[in-house]
Copies of this chain bind each other. A is one copy, B any other.
Amino acid sequence: MEAALRRSREEAARTRKSAVRAASRLFRERGLQEVSVSDVMGALGLTVGGFYRHFESKEALAAEACAAAFSESALARGGSADAMLRGYLSEGHRDARGAGCPLAALVTDVARQPAAVRDSYTAGVRDGLARLAKVAPGLSDGERRALLAGMVGALAIARAVNDEELSAAFLRDARRFWTRLLKDSDEQT
């Protein structure tokens, strides 16, 4: 064994936060099942054993990391409705899974997860709808749910598809479709 010094409380708190941040990125990149506890601790340059000083289980980390992902999501960043659509339905967002919207990154994974993770995801969905209410006040609640579903679906399909042109088409066409709808709803207001 080598150099297993006790760290200060500040350092320990930083370790915990870093673990959540790393997990949040890795889970979005590779999916919840495909990231091991060792992967997360390894991303911090630490070994696996220390993990359980900070978290009760991998599942507890998953719920926390999922929640953390929402607070830095693309949907959370403000701006105009146009800018939001341009950013969300962009090739940059598509190619940056680890830093992108967790709604799209984890949508099928979450359906198979325990309640803590699903709760966290559900809160993220409500949060996303609330954000849309701010940037697109002209839409009804129902239209906003259709919009969120359209954005998440387009991004997820653009990532799944194995053809660059088709992938770009899904992003572009969803962008155009929803941009037009938002413009029309503004004009009616």
Contact = CB atoms under 8 A, between A and B. Distances in A.
Interface of A: 30-31, 33-34, 97, 103-112, 115, 118-119, 121-122, 125-126, 141-143, 145-146, 148-154, 156-157, 159-163, 166, 169-170, 172-174, 176-178
Given A121-B162, A153-B153, A154-B153, A146 B109 contact: no
A112 to B, nearest CB: 6
Given A145-B169, A161-B122, A109 B107 contact: no
A106 B31 CA distance: 12
Identical subunits present: 2
Nearest to A173: B142
A119 B118 CA distance: 30
A160 B115 CA distance: 11
Contacts of A97: 111
A146 B154 contact: yes
17 contacts: A31-B33, A31-B108, A105-B108, A107-B160, A108-B109, A111-B160, A119-B162, A121-B161, A122-B163, A125-B157, A125-B161, A142-B177, A145-B170, A146-B174, A146-B176, A149-B153, A150-B153
